[in-house]
Amino acid sequence: MQTFTPEDLDDDILNDLLEEINELYEASEQTLIELELRPEDNELQRSLFRSVHTIKGDLGLVSFTPMMPLLQHVEDLLDYLRKGQIKYTSTMSDLVLLTMDRVKIFVEGCFTKGSAEYDPELYKNLVVHVSKISPDNAALHEKLLADAVLLLDPSPDVGEANAEQVASGQSTPSRSVTLANTGIPKGLSNEKQMDILFFRELMKPIEKRSMYWEGRGDRIAKLAFYINNLAGKPIEEDQLAVACYVHDFGMAFMPLKILHKRDKLEENEFNLMRSHVYKSSRLLEHLDQWNGARKIVMQHHERIDGNGYPLGVKDEDICEGAKLLAILDTFDALTHTRAHNGHVKHPKKKAVIEINRVGEGQFCKTWMGHFNRGMAGLLTK
């Protein structure tokens, strides 16, 4: 690893740079989701190119040189795409987002610590793989993209040895389960993908109604797909996605004085809060294609021992999606700030320990096993 120390820059310049990169990252994530639905849409392709081009230009202005070669080659790749010389694939989406992740971490390090560590050999190998992609070798594109993605994000089970295999040009191992870059499943019909995108967009202003909610849907959906994949996908991904996004829709219709109350809730206030599962599930009431999601939403506060709500159903009567969502909903609450005085925001590892401590009777043992295995992989990467 090497350490990059930027020139003496004003904090305001670094702060503006970080804000713009965050905005461009969010815009690019949205563009990539839409490209999954409309991969031939040239306006979306051009928009993605402009985002990467702007980020590269911004880093050039402040002489953040270590990131420039990789960004240049990703920009060249997207230039081929916008000119119709190569085809868009989901693996290309992974490469773009993972590259932006690295850029964000690099800039945040410079801003918060005054320097950033980076691996020059990694970036050299990435440039080698991405630079080999050209309009003349379409049959190799997916392998070259997959190799680059694996270098950027080796899965917990693949490890450093396999990343070295890719770097040395040896055969690429099959990738194990990794955390998704978006909360939208791939490979669905256009109708279902558009529905999920609609629910995701619908929840954004609802999440912003409370200072404690923003980003919950995406965080929970990504983690849900990861754990479900580890378990062998027993839950339908499309139903799980919708449930993750809309399960707290009903919270938007609670008084803010209750949502933000610091003291313990009165019984009538707690009962009102509990009613959010009915309000959330009614959102899907007349959409028969989302009946599975509606059931997950309705049951995600039930407990294995029957002491949950709203119906007090037990273990075998709770659907698998609700069992998983119950764990992830609690994990997200533990790892983020909440209003009431008794809440303590936990680091992720401590949150996993706490969930295991209180999980007896509350959470499904099978899904707790999958959750623990998944979090062990994510937190030790």
Give the pLDDT confidence of 82-93 residue by residue, as tens digits: 999 999 988 888
In a shared domain, residues 282 and 135? no
Secondary structure of 233-267 in HEC code, one letter for each residue = CCCCHHHHHHHHHHCCHHHHHCCHHHHCCCCCCCH
Its domain, for residue 74, covers 2-167
Determine, yes or no, domain membership for 184. Answer: no
In a shared domain, residues 38 and 154? yes
Decide which of 136, 167, 198 is a domain's last residue. Answer: 167
Number of residues that make up the chain: 381
Q: In the 8-state DSSP scheme, what is residue 221?
A: H
Determine, yes or no, domain membership for 247. Answer: yes
Domain count, the chain: 2
In a shared domain, residues 206 and 270? yes
Among 328, 313, 336, 163, smallest CA distance to 244 is for: 328
- Do 71 and 59 meet the contact criterion of CB atoms below 8 Å apart? yes
In a shared domain, residues 13 and 158? yes
**Distance (Å, whole) CA 129 – CA 154:** 15
Average pLDDT over residues 326-330: 95
Determine, yes or no, domain membership for 250. Answer: yes
Determine, yes or no, domain membership for 173. Answer: no
CATH number of the domain enclosing 241: 1.10.3210.10
Provide the 3-class DSSP secondary structure of residue 80. Answer: helix
**Distance (Å, whole) CA 206 – CA 273:** 16
In a shared domain, residues 298 and 263? yes
In a shared domain, residues 85 and 225? no
pTM score above 0.85: no
In a shared domain, residues 130 and 226? no
In a shared domain, residues 270 and 324? yes
pLDDT, residue 201, reads 87
Determine, yes or no, domain membership for 183. Answer: no
In a shared domain, residues 323 and 223? yes
Dump pLDDT digits (tens) for 62-105: 888 888 999 999 999 999 999 999 999 888 888 888 888 888 88
